[in-house]
Each structure stands twice: as structure tokens, then as C-alpha cells.
Chains A and B, each alone.
With several copies, the nearest count.
Chain A
Amino acid sequence: MFTRKRIELIIERMAYKRAGRILEEAGMTGYTVLPALAGFGNGNKWSRDTDISTSTDMVVMISIGDEARVTASLEKIAGLLGNHIGVVSVSTVEVLRPDRF
């Protein structure tokens, strides 16, 4: 097994394409976006089925890549999060096919 980094980005739906471009430019080989259903933060709760302008929806982006690229992308991501509400965290994972990331 080979060690890689896993970025987990909890961010507004409207902003995930931008985050995706950032990850792409930083050389991450891929990402996956999961829809969120509800959430809580800053004392506010939101829920998907109760916001017609789905503009406050959050999604969770997962992107696995090598440490260098992850670090590279994090700065820009932080910039993006300056505007858009969201949370980013990084963890260590083991992968089977190192060439893939």
C-alpha cells in the first residue's frame, strides 16, 4: 500500500465547480462530489428539501492525491473558502495503485 492524502471539502453546491477547477489545476487526478442532505454551522441549520433556490445546499468533495499536489491546491482552496462558506480537511489514506494519484 502507498500513502496518499485525501482532501475532504464541504462546500456550497454553487461553488464546487470552482473548487474542481482548482484541484484540476493543482494536478489532482480526480475528485468525487457527494450531495449533502442537511447540515449545521454558525448556529444555522439548513436542509435540502426546504430551500427551493438550492443555493445554500452543501456538497462534499473528495479528492485523493499525493501530498505535494494536495498542499499546492490547499492554498487556493483556502482562498475560495474565504468567500464561500465551507470546510476543508485533509487526512492520510493508503491506496493500491500509486500511479493513479
Chain B
Amino acid sequence: MDVAISTLLSPIILFFMLGMGAALLRSQMTVPEAFSKGVSLYLMMAIGLKGGVEMSKNPLTTEVMLVLLAGIVLSFLIPLLAFVLLRFTTRLGQVDAAAVAAHYGSISIVTFVAATEAVRLSGFESGGHLVAVAALMETPAIITALFLAQRGSAAKAPVAGAEQGELVREVFLNASVVALVGALAVGWIAGVDGTASIQPFFTGLFQGVLCLFLLDMGLNAGRGLRQGWRQLEVATIGFGLYMPLLSASIAAGISLALGLPVGDAALLMTLAASASYIAVPAALRLALPEAKPSIYLTLSLGVTFPFNVTLGIPIYIFIAQAISS
């Protein structure tokens, strides 16, 4: 448990709480969008490079392949579970339920990064290929969600022609996928020696930059919560809290089946539990404009993200230890 404490008292989380507190107190403080976009690009390049370099160290095993596959499957299936739960427990309509489901099938790279730090702090290793898993889990959920949203309703395919291409590019070539996968490839190709000269920037500064970014995330999460919570019924907020635990347990089962080491298991669980708030919303504004951002954004950014970053991650690490012993 003192792992949990030390995680909660790490500067990263403290800065997140600072931001969240300031937002809830309605401070006008903001981080310019252009700046935080640049910072998040840095984070994705750094995490991608790290993963690629580590993957370059040892060949692709079938285990690795299985984890990648597991990630894709999770991203495809979690939305189904989420959708059913939402339809039965909340008053959300088909489209909004499908939209929310997409977010929980996809991932939050910042949550993932916070988890890697926590795993490190707890003294465990984690494989570089988990970054690849993260990248692979971003998009399948969107496809499931679009299917769920049209299901039954003889609605015209939402998008066609130029729209189609626009959407496909947004889904498969959005900034985070390109940066993650691209940096992963660069790290893989350049390897340890090739990336030595750029490590001071991408590794040395990583935790520090993360503090700055999580301060901003806290501001965003806090504002999202303050502005949006009225739109959410209790059942929906509840979903934002138990769904991560559900997804994590499924991932725990898979980790057990695959016999993943503690670190990898914790990260896979975190990925399953985390909800997207950048890639998926953007894609859904194109594909499901009828879905209300005030619902899915508030839920994933205002409820689930804070939960995962503070309580969730320690729990997942704890479970990962339990199952792997």
C-alpha cells in the first residue's frame, strides 16, 4: 500500500491534483493550447522511442505477438460490454451509449505513461512492446462503436466520399497514432546506440515534462467536471468509476492466461481501464456528430481519468502483483 501512497505523493500526481484543484476553485489559469499540444507530441515521441529502443534489444517473441493481439481484441470487445451496461443502467440513447463505449475501448496515453512511471516506482520492469499495444488499442474501439451506433437504425451510413477518407485518416493516421507508431519505429531502427544522443531530451526530461502536462490535464479534467457533471446522471458517473475496474479485471484475466510479468500485466490492465479523450472525440465529431461531447468528454476526462491516475493505477499494480505470484 505504501506503493500507493508513494504514487499518490509523486510530483506527477501532486501537480495533477494542483491543476484539478485550481480548476474546481475556478482559477482562470490556462496552459495555451498550442503549448500543451506541443508538449503532448513530445510525450508521445518519447514514450514511442523508449518502447522502440527496448523492443530493438530482443527479438519479437510469440508472447509479444499474443499481447499485441490481446490489446486489439480488448479494444474491439470492451465497447460491447460498455454499450450493454450503459443501455441497461443509464438513460443514454443508442448513439450516446455507443460514443461513450468507444472511449472506454480506446486508451489514454497519459494514463499509460503515468502507469509506467508508477510501475517503475514500484520496482517492476515493463516491456517496450506495451507501447505498441497502446498504439494498437487506440482505434479498434471506434469501429465497434460505429457499428453499435448504426445497428438496427436503418440510418444512412454516416459518412461517404471525401468524408469517408477524412474519417479513415482521422482514425488511423491521427497525430497520436502517427507519433507513437512512428517514434516506436524510429527507436526500433536506430536502437540504443543510434538514439544515445537524443536520450537527454527524450528520457532525461520525461518525468519533468510529465509534471507540466499533468498540471494541464488536471486543469482540463477539473473544468470538464465542473462544467459537465450536471449533464450526467448518477448511473453514468458510476459507470465512469466501475467500468475501468471491469476492463482491468478482464485484462487481468488475459494477463494471467498469458502469464505476463507484473509490469506488463499492470500496464495492459491500465490500457484496458483507461478511456480516450483526444483521438476518439475527434473521430466521433466526424463520424457521430449527433453524440453529445458534453457526456463522453466529461465522463472520460472528468471522471475516469482522475480515477485511474490517482486510485486506479495503484490498484492495477496491486492486482498484477497478486495474480503473478
Whether B293 pairs with A56 at a CB distance below 8 angstroms is yes
The answer to the question of B31 belonging to the interface, with a C-beta cut-off of 8 Å to chain A, is: yes
CA A52 – CA B219 in complex, angstroms? 10
The answer to the question of A53 belonging to the interface, with a C-beta cut-off of 8 Å to chain B, is: yes
Whether A44 pairs with B278 at a CB distance below 8 angstroms is no
For chain A, what secondary structure do more than half of its interface residues adopt (helix, strand, loop), or is it mixed? mixed
Report the minimal beta-carbon distance from A85 to chain B, rounded to whole angstroms. 8
Residues from chain A with a CB closer than 8 A to the CB of B23 are 50
Most buried by B among A18, A52, A55: A52
Whether B289 pairs with A50 at a CB distance below 8 angstroms is no
Most buried by A among B289, B294, B301: B289
The answer to the question of B152 belonging to the interface, with a C-beta cut-off of 8 Å to chain A, is: no
The answer to the question of B227 belonging to the interface, with a C-beta cut-off of 8 Å to chain A, is: yes
Report the minimal beta-carbon distance from B175 to chain A, rounded to whole angstroms. 11
Whether A21 pairs with B162 at a CB distance below 8 angstroms is yes
Most buried by B among A51, A53, A55: A53
The answer to the question of B163 belonging to the interface, with a C-beta cut-off of 8 Å to chain A, is: yes
The answer to the question of B145 belonging to the interface, with a C-beta cut-off of 8 Å to chain A, is: no
Whether B36 pairs with A52 at a CB distance below 8 angstroms is yes
Interface residues of B in 200-256 (CB under 8 A from A): 216-217, 219-220, 223-224, 227
The answer to the question of B285 belonging to the interface, with a C-beta cut-off of 8 Å to chain A, is: yes
The answer to the question of A48 belonging to the interface, with a C-beta cut-off of 8 Å to chain B, is: yes
Whether B163 pairs with A18 at a CB distance below 8 angstroms is yes
The answer to the question of A32 belonging to the interface, with a C-beta cut-off of 8 Å to chain B, is: no
Known: A44-B294, A50-B223. A55 touches B289 (CB 8 A): no
Residues from chain A with a CB closer than 8 A to the CB of B294 are 44
Residues from chain B with a CB closer than 8 A to the CB of A54 are 33, 282
What band does the interface of chain B fall in when counting residues whose beta carbon is under 8 Å from A? 20 to 34
Residues from chain A with a CB closer than 8 A to the CB of B290 are 83
The answer to the question of B32 belonging to the interface, with a C-beta cut-off of 8 Å to chain A, is: yes
What band does the interface of chain A fall in when counting residues whose beta carbon is under 8 Å from B? 20 to 34
Q: Mark A34-63, 1 if CB is under 8 A from B, else 0.
A: 000000000011011111111110000000
CA A17 – CA B23 in complex, angstroms? 17
Most buried by B among A17, A45, A51: A51
The answer to the question of B54 belonging to the interface, with a C-beta cut-off of 8 Å to chain A, is: no
Give B23's nearest chain A residue, CB to CB: A50
CA A49 – CA B279 in complex, angstroms? 17
The answer to the question of B166 belonging to the interface, with a C-beta cut-off of 8 Å to chain A, is: yes
The answer to the question of B286 belonging to the interface, with a C-beta cut-off of 8 Å to chain A, is: yes
Known: A52-B217, A53-B277, A53-B278. A15 touches B285 (CB 8 A): yes
Whether B286 pairs with A14 at a CB distance below 8 angstroms is yes
Chain A interface residues toward B at CB < 8 A? 12, 14-15, 17-18, 21, 44-45, 47-56, 83-84
Given contacts A49-B30, A49-B31, 9 further A-B contacts (CB under 8 A): A12-B285, A18-B162, A44-B294, A49-B33, A50-B220, A51-B224, A53-B279, A55-B284, A55-B293
| In the complex, the 3 A-B pairs of residues with the closest C-beta atoms, listed nearest first | A49-B30, A83-B289, A53-B281
Chain B interface residues toward A at CB < 8 A? 23, 30-33, 36, 40, 162-163, 166, 216-217, 219-220, 223-224, 227, 277-282, 284-286, 289-290, 293-294, 297, 301
User: 20 A-B Cβ contacts within 8 A?
Assistant: A14-B285, A15-B286, A15-B289, A18-B166, A49-B31, A49-B33, A50-B23, A50-B220, A51-B224, A52-B217, A53-B278, A53-B280, A53-B282, A53-B301, A54-B33, A54-B282, A55-B281, A55-B285, A56-B281, A83-B290
